[in-house]
Structure 1
Amino acid sequence: MLKLSIVFGLLASIIWRTTPTNCRQTPPTHSNVNHLIAANIQNFMDTSARPCENFYQYACGHWYQHHIEQVDFGDTLGLLEYELNKKLEHVLKRLGNVTADEDEESSFYQKVHTYYKSCKKVKPYNLKKYLLLVQPNYETSWYILSRSGGKNWQAERFDWLQAVAKLRLYGLNGVLLKEEILPRWDESSSNSIYLDKPNLIETEPMGEGAAIELMLDIGQTKRVANEISREVHAFELQLHKLQEIEDEEGAKEMQLSYLQEYMPQIDWLEYIRQLKGPTTNLATTVIIQNVPYMRALVKLLNTTERETVCNYVMLKFLHFLKQQGPAEISKQECVSSLRRAMPLAMSYIIGTHFNKDIEQNDEIVQRIFASLKQKFYEILSDNRLQLQQPIVDVLLQKIKSMQLQVGFSPRNVSNGFLNEYYERIELDASNFYVNQLSLLRLTVEKSHESLEPAVASNFLAIDNSTYLLAESITATSSPYYIKPRNLIIVPYGFMQMPVYHRNLNDIFKYSVLGFIIAHEVLHGFDSNGIDYDSVGNIMGPSEEIAANHRFMRGLRCMQNELATGSRSLNEKLADYEGFRLVYDTYFNGSLLHEQSVGHVKVLPQFTSKQLFFIHFAQFFCGKVHRSVKQSAFLEHALDELRVLQTLANFEEFSKEFGCDKRAKMQSKVRCKLW
Structure 2
Amino acid sequence: MKWIICLLIAPIVAASPILNAAFNNSNTRLLNNILGNVNEDASACGNYFGYACGNYVGHNINDYFSNINQKLSYMMYYDLIQQMDELHQISQIPGFNESSVDAKALRYYLNCLDAPPETRTAEHYLRLATPGKGLTWPHLTPSGFEWPRDKFKWMNTLANLHRYGLTNVIVNVEITRNSMLKLSMPNFKVNLHDWLKLKDFGITLYDMGVPYNRQNSFWHEVTSLEWFLEELTNRNEDDEEMHFMSVQDIEWTTELKWQRFIEAIVGHRISSRLRVYIQNLNYFTALRRMDFIHAELLANYIMTRFVLHIRKNANDGGDPIKCIRNLRSSMSLASSLLYKERFQDPTTLEDNIQEVEQIFDQLRRQLIHQVNINRLGLTSKQKRMVIEKVQAIVLNIGNIPKGLDHRSFVSRYYKDLEISTGNLDYAREHLKMLEFRMRKHMAQFQQPFPSSEEYFHMPDTITDFQSPSSPYYLVDKNIIVMPYPLLQEPFFVSDSHDVFKYSLMGFTLAHEMMHAIGTRGILVDSHGNDQDVGQKILSLPQFQPCLNTEHHEERLADIEGLKLAFAAYSSRSKQSRNDEKFTSVNLEKIFFLNVAQLFCTDNYPRNFLHHDDHPLRLQQIVNGFEPFERAFECPRNSLQCDKCEFSANVRPDVEAIAAAALSGMEMGSGPGSEGYEDADDEKSKAMENASQRLAVHRMTPTLEKSHLGGSTSSRIHNPGI
- Which TM class, normalised by the smaller chain length? 0.7 to 0.9
Q: Which of 83, 88, 112 lines up with 2:80 in the alignment?
A: 88
Assess, with a 3 A threshold, how the Cα gap between structure 1 residues 545 and 309 changes in structure 2: closer, same or farther: farther
TM superposition shift of 1:157: 5.0
Q: Which amino acid aligns with 2:124?
A: K
1:168 aligned partner: 162
Q: Deviations over 1:283-312 (max 9, x none)?
A: 33322334345456x378578766565445
Question: Given that residues 180 and 446 in structure 2 are in contact (C-alpha distance below 8 angstroms), is that contact kept between their aligned partners in structure 1?
Answer: no
Question: Given that residues 255 and 285 in structure 2 are in contact (C-alpha distance below 8 angstroms), is that contact kept between their aligned partners in structure 1?
Answer: yes
1:331 aligned partner: 320
* Match runs of 1:473-488 below 5 Å: 474=465, 476-477=467-468, 478-488=470-480
Q: Which of 146, 162, 180 lines up with 1:192 in the alignment?
A: 180
Q: Distance in 2 between matches of 1:305 and 1:659?
A: 72
Q: Which of 36, 42, 50 lines up with 2:29 in the alignment?
A: 36
Does residue 345 in structure 1 map to residue 338 in structure 2? no
* Match runs of 1:463-542 below 5 Å: 463=453, 468=457, 471=460, 474=465, 476-477=467-468, 478-539=470-531, 541-542=533-534
With 313-322 and 168-177 compared, the bigger mean Cα shift is at 313-322
Q: Which of 167, 172, 177 lines up with 1:178 in the alignment?
A: 172
2:10 aligned partner: none
Assess, with a 3 A threshold, how the Cα gap between structure 1 residues 656 and 150 changes in structure 2: closer, same or farther: farther
Does residue 415 in structure 1 map to residue 407 in structure 2? yes
1:113 aligned partner: 106
2:127 aligned partner: 132
1:375 aligned partner: 366
Q: Distance in 2 between matches of 1:597 and 1:224?
A: 81
Q: Distance in 1 between matches of 2:222 and 2:123?
A: 19
TM-score computed with the length of structure 2 as normaliser = 0.75
Q: Which amino acid aligns with 2:130?
A: Q
2:609 aligned partner: 634
Can you give the 5+ residue segments of structure 2 that lack an aligned partner in the other structure? 1-20, 658-721
With 637-646 and 390-399 compared, the bigger mean Cα shift is at 637-646
Q: Which of 301, 305, 321 lines up with 2:310 in the alignment?
A: 321
Question: Given that residues 256 and 288 in structure 2 are in contact (C-alpha distance below 8 angstroms), is that contact kept between their aligned partners in structure 1?
Answer: no
Q: Distance in 2 between matches of 1:345 and 1:509?
A: 29
Does residue 364 in structure 1 map to residue 339 in structure 2? no
Assess, with a 3 A threshold, how the Cα gap between structure 1 residues 643 and 279 changes in structure 2: closer, same or farther: same
RMSD: 3.7
SS of the equivalent of 1:321 reads helix
TM superposition shift of 1:282: 1.8
Q: Distance in 1 between matches of 2:357 and 2:224?
A: 51
Q: Distance in 2 between matches of 1:521 and 1:243?
A: 37
Q: Deviations over 1:160-218 (max 9, x none)?
A: 4333332321123333333222331xxxxxx2223334457466963333645544554
2:436 aligned partner: 442
Q: Which of 49, 54, 58 lines up with 1:61 in the alignment?
A: 54
1:17 aligned partner: none
SS of the equivalent of 1:288 reads strand
SS of the equivalent of 1:601 reads coil
1:571 aligned partner: 554
Q: Deviations over 1:320-367 (max 9, x none)?
A: 333334354211111111111111111222222233223221211111
Question: Given that residues 624 and 651 in structure 2 are in contact (C-alpha distance below 8 angstroms), is that contact kept between their aligned partners in structure 1?
Answer: yes
Q: Deviations over 1:364-396 (max 9, x none)?
A: 111111111112212222334433211211111
Assess, with a 3 A threshold, how the Cα gap between structure 1 residues 650 and 169 changes in structure 2: closer, same or farther: farther
Assess, with a 3 A threshold, how the Cα gap between structure 1 residues 86 and 624 changes in structure 2: closer, same or farther: farther
Q: Distance in 2 between matches of 1:303 and 1:614?
A: 65
2:392 aligned partner: 401
Question: Given that residues 80 and 335 in structure 2 are in contact (C-alpha distance below 8 angstroms), is that contact kept between their aligned partners in structure 1?
Answer: no
With 331-340 and 375-384 compared, the bigger mean Cα shift is at 375-384
Q: Distance in 1 between matches of 2:295 and 2:61?
A: 49
With 420-429 and 231-240 compared, the bigger mean Cα shift is at 231-240
Q: Which amino acid aligns with 2:600?
A: C
Does residue 583 in structure 1 map to residue 583 in structure 2? no
1:646 aligned partner: 621
Question: Given that residues 208 and 233 in structure 1 are in contact (C-alpha distance below 8 angstroms), is that contact kept between their aligned partners in structure 2?
Answer: no
SS of the equivalent of 1:56 reads helix
Q: Distance in 2 between matches of 1:662 and 1:204?
A: 52
Q: What number of residue pairs does the alignment pair up?
A: 615
Q: Distance in 2 between matches of 1:196 and 1:334?
A: 34
SS of the equivalent of 2:481 reads strand
Assess, with a 3 A threshold, how the Cα gap between structure 1 residues 107 and 650 changes in structure 2: closer, same or farther: same
TM superposition shift of 1:529: 0.9
% identical aligned pairs: 26
With 83-92 and 651-660 compared, the bigger mean Cα shift is at 651-660
Q: Deviations over 1:72-123 (max 9, x none)?
A: x433222211111101111111212224666822111111111112222124
Does residue 608 in structure 1 map to residue 587 in structure 2? yes
Question: Given that residues 484 and 536 in structure 1 are in contact (C-alpha distance below 8 angstroms), is that contact kept between their aligned partners in structure 2?
Answer: yes
Q: Distance in 1 between matches of 2:317 and 2:392?
A: 44
1:621 aligned partner: 600
Q: Distance in 1 between matches of 2:417 and 2:566?
A: 48
Q: Distance in 1 between matches of 2:144 and 2:46?
A: 63
With 277-286 and 660-669 compared, the bigger mean Cα shift is at 660-669
Bigger relative contact order, structure 1 or 2 (CA pairs below 8 A, ≥6 apart): 2
Assess, with a 3 A threshold, how the Cα gap between structure 1 residues 268 and 385 changes in structure 2: closer, same or farther: farther
Q: Which amino acid aligns with 1:355?
A: Q
SS of the equivalent of 2:176 reads strand
Q: Distance in 2 between matches of 1:462 and 1:489?
A: 11
Q: Deviations over 1:570-618 (max 9, x none)?
A: 334433332332233223x4674648998x634x44x333322222221
TM-score computed with the length of structure 1 as normaliser = 0.80
Q: Distance in 2 between matches of 1:38 and 1:150?
A: 74
Question: Given that residues 116 and 425 in structure 2 are in contact (C-alpha distance below 8 angstroms), is that contact kept between their aligned partners in structure 1?
Answer: no
Q: Which amino acid aligns with 1:137?
A: G
Q: From the two aligned structures, give the one with the greater helix fraction.
A: 1
Assess, with a 3 A threshold, how the Cα gap between structure 1 residues 656 and 444 changes in structure 2: closer, same or farther: same
SS of the equivalent of 2:545 reads helix
Q: Distance in 2 between matches of 1:104 and 1:622?
A: 44
Can you give the 5+ residue segments of structure 1 that lack an aligned partner in the other structure? 1-27, 185-190
Question: Given that residues 207 and 233 in structure 1 are in contact (C-alpha distance below 8 angstroms), is that contact kept between their aligned partners in structure 2?
Answer: no
Question: Given that residues 505 and 595 in structure 1 are in contact (C-alpha distance below 8 angstroms), is that contact kept between their aligned partners in structure 2?
Answer: no
Question: Given that residues 104 and 110 in structure 1 are in contact (C-alpha distance below 8 angstroms), is that contact kept between their aligned partners in structure 2?
Answer: yes
Assess, with a 3 A threshold, how the Cα gap between structure 1 residues 310 and 345 changes in structure 2: closer, same or farther: same
TM superposition shift of 1:670: 1.5
